[in-house]
Amino acid sequence: MRQFIKYVLAAMLVFSTFAFFGESSKASASTFVTPVTQSNVITQYFTKNAHNGIDWSGGGLDSSIYATADGTVTHVDESNTSPYTGYGTIIRVAHEVNGQRYESFYSHLNSVDVREGQTVNQGERIGGMGNTGYTEGPTGIHLHFEMHEGYWAPQQLNPASARDPLALIGQDFGEPDEVDPILHSFDGSWATLRTVSNTGDDTINTYGSPGVGLNGTLAADRLVKVYEKASNGSVDYFRVQSNPDRWVHRDNGIVTPYIVKASFSTATYQEPAVNPERHPEGGLAPGDSYKTYGTEVTSDGQQWYNLGGKGWIKSDANGLYTYRMP
C-alpha cells in the first residue's frame, strides 16, 4: 500500500510539473492597442523629431486613458519640470514584447490612477485626459501619446528610440519563443534582471549603494540575479552582486521575479520569524503560483520568499517549487 501511495504521489508531481511548464510556454499574439476610446479623434500625427507622438482629443476632461499593453509603471510625474517640461502630468509604462523593451508615454493628464512600480494590464484605465502642461492651442484637452523602443527620451534630444504609434498599434508581433522555466534552489535571490542601456552603450553603470558611489559597469543585455531592492528617493535600485555590492538603476534593467508553485496546500505567514504568525488570507492551494518579491533568512536558518500581498512562505515548504526564467 505504501509503495502504491508513493507511485501516486510521484505521478502527481510529474503531472503538476509538466502542467506548469506547458502553462508557462503558452502565450497569445502580442500587440499594442489604442490608449483612448473610439470617440476620440487624432488632431496631430507623428513627425520624427518634430512631434514624436500622436495627439488624441474629443473625450472630454478626465475621460479614460488606457494602458496600450501589459507592463510596469516606471514613472509618474506631476511637476511639469525637466525632463517633462511642457508635458504636464505624465505616466511612463515599460512593456516587453518578444524580448524587446518598449516604453509608452502618456502626457497632459488630468488624473493618475496608478503608482510607480505597479503592474498594469492591457486596456486598464491608468489615468484621465487633461490639459496640464503646455496645451495652449487648438487641441486643448487631449492626450499626447508616444511609443519608444527601449526607453523614453524628451523630443528635444531627437531620440532615435521614438516610433510612430500607429505603426505599432494593432501590429501582430507573433508568438514569443517558447522558453521553459528553470528549477531554482534558494540562494538569496528572488528575480533575474536583464541589463539594458538606454543610451545605446555596450555597458551600464553600477553603484556601491542605491544611486551613490559609481563603482563599475556591467555589459548590456546580460542576465544577472536580483538579491535586494531599495530606493533612493523615489527611484528604485536592484542589488545584483555582493562583496562588493553592485546596484543597478531601475531604468537599466528588466526585472523578472521568480515563480513559486505549490503542489500541496502550503501555509503562508505575515512576516518571516522564528515563530511566525499565519497570514490572515490563508496559504496556497495546490496548483497556486505566485511571484516572489524578496527573500530573508531568519536567525534559525529558515529561508523565506516574500509573496507580496500573500505574505511570506518557507522556501523548503513541502511540495513547493521555485522557478526562474532563463
Question: 268-291, pLDDT tens digit by residue?
Answer: 999 999 999 999 988 999 999 999
In a domain, 83, yes or no: yes
Residue 19: is its pLDDT beyond 80? Answer: no
**DSSP H/E element including 84:** none
Q: Tell me, what's the pLDDT at 277?
A: 96
What CATH code is carried by the domain that includes residue 55? 2.70.70.10
Query: For 85-95, what is the mean pLDDT?
Result: 94
In a domain, 145, yes or no: yes
Domain interval for residue 83: 41-168
9 contact partners, CB below 8 Å, separation of at least 6: none
In a domain, 124, yes or no: yes
Query: For 16-30, what is the mean pLDDT?
Result: 35
In a domain, 65, yes or no: yes
The number of folded domains in the chain is 1
- This prediction has a pTM of 0.60
Q: Tell me, what's the pLDDT at 176?
A: 56
Q: Tell me, what's the pLDDT at 11?
A: 38
186 vs 197 pLDDT, higher one = 186
In a domain, 315, yes or no: no
Q: Give yes or no for a contact between 229 and 202, defined as CB atoms under 8 angstroms apart.
A: no
In a domain, 158, yes or no: yes
Q: Tell me, what's the pLDDT at 157?
A: 74
Q: Map grid coordinates 495652449 to a residue.
A: 136
In a domain, 249, yes or no: no
In a domain, 275, yes or no: no
The cell for 14 is 510529474
Question: 219-230, pLDDT tens digit by residue?
Answer: 988 999 999 999
